[in-house]
Amino acid sequence: MNDLCTLGTGGTLPMPERALSALYVRVNGRSLLIDCGEGTQVGVQKLGWGMQCIEGILISHFHADHVSGLPGMLLALTKAQRQEPLHIYGPAGLTYIVGGLRVIAPQLSFPVVLHELNGDEDPFSLIGLEITAFPLDHGMPCLGYRLHLPRPAAFDPDKARAL
């Protein structure tokens, strides 16, 4: 089962019925987040798909509406007694930004592993997906992510010919 859910699509100004940027991606019970706007952990809880299965977070860029939810998410994962490492991927500057946000979430029950990308690396694997980062023009370091789920094609031309 593969699922995508936009937890938030709002811009810089939070709106009562429109949360800040976050996308929850689930593949066979394993999941990741793309961006983590303020209150993302609330959206995950409302969705009911779980926090413990989040293996990583892909950050597109460092505008507050895309990263301000990291401290709350990290603390929520600690409250949920997470032990496994959480991998966070993002553009150059990720270590600095996450370090600043961690000032208000200094003690966690799990290690955070940071991966700074510039968009020309080979694809990496996470939750069964092959992920390719590519640079975007947004006035600051910014990455897009291509998610590829390797699987055999549903149509088999050899079987079709035989039939």
Within the chain, residue ranges assigned H as helices are: 40-47, 64-67, 70-79, 94-101, 157-162
Residue type at 104 in one-letter notation = I
The two tokens of residue 63 are 């505008």
Q: Is the dihedral of CA 39, 45, 49, 51 positive or negative?
A: positive
Question: Which is the catalytic residue, given 35, 65, 156, 158?
Answer: 65
Residue found by looking up tokens 């149509």 in the block? 155
Neighbours of 151 (CB within 10 A): 8
Angle at the Cα of 128 (from 66 to 38), degrees rounded to 5? Answer: 15
Active site residue 65: yes
CA-CA distance, 158 to 161, in Å (whole number)? Answer: 5
| Tokens representing residue 132 in the block | 């390719």
Catalytic residues: 65
